[in-house]
Amino acid sequence: MATRTLKALLASGVAAGVLVPVLLWADGATRPGYSLWHHGASQLGTGERAWLQTVNFVLGGLLLLAFAAGLRRALRGGRGATWGPILLTTAAAGLVVAGLVPTDPALGYPPGQPTGVTTSGLIHQVAGFALFAGLSAAAFVLARRLGEASRGWALYSRLSGALVIVFAFAAGIAYRLDTLGVWRPAPAGLLEHLSLLTAFCWIIAVGVRLLRQASEPAVSQAG
């Protein structure tokens, strides 16, 4: 029963890693007036079909929270066993809040709505920071623990953590250049989507690895 619960929690991370980016890209590619190149992922939580991304972010955050609990159980103490799950919990909370509290209209989306900064938008920004910072930091914190069996895992985790921040930071710069009229349309949306995709691909990979490890005792006993 304990092993079954652990597997369910770890599988939640794999589910979140697939659900969130797939729904973002599918919705963004088919949403009237929205550009995957130009507009941020959070802007899909506004305008037409906004409810879809609200559900996506909240459900994805809850799945990520379950994964953090599974990660804590799977690591069973040692390096990264405390801060890794804490950072993923922070990211999960950020994702849930980002879904419940929509961002402000920006870069012409939703069409016809005035731009500006509201309390809702500020809360959403803080939630977004928690999401990206938590995901990136978790990858760095867990790099050494995951790399105990293979140096490739340590490299992959550190590279993922770095790319999450680099893409997110570049997206912020592109957004600023766009609003100033220096570069239009700048690829702020594409860069933000790539940041999320990098993070969730890492979560899928870690989840699959830990699921395999959780299955090993059962396999050995069956033999």
Each domain of the chain, given as residue ranges in start order, spans 2-214
Averaged pLDDT, 63-91 = 96
Residue 1 has pLDDT above 80, yes or no: no
Digit-coded pLDDT (tens) for 165-196: 999 999 999 999 999 999 999 999 999 999 99
Digit-coded pLDDT (tens) for 41-74: 999 999 989 999 999 999 999 999 999 999 999 9
Averaged pLDDT, 73-85 = 93
Is the CB of residue 120 less than 8 Å from the CB of residue 46?
no
Helical residues (DSSP H) of the chain, grouped into ranges:
2-30, 50-75, 83-100, 119-146, 151-179, 188-222
Residues 6+ apart with CB under 8 A from 175: 40, 106, 107, 186, 188
pLDDT at 217: 58
Averaged pLDDT, 96-113 = 95
- What share of the chain in percent tops pLDDT 90? 89
Cis ω for the linkage preceding 32 (within 30 of 0): no
Residues 6+ apart with CB under 8 A from 137: 87, 161
Cross-strand bridge partners of residue 106? 109
Token look-up 């801060």 returns 83
Between 98 and 218, where is the model more confident? 98
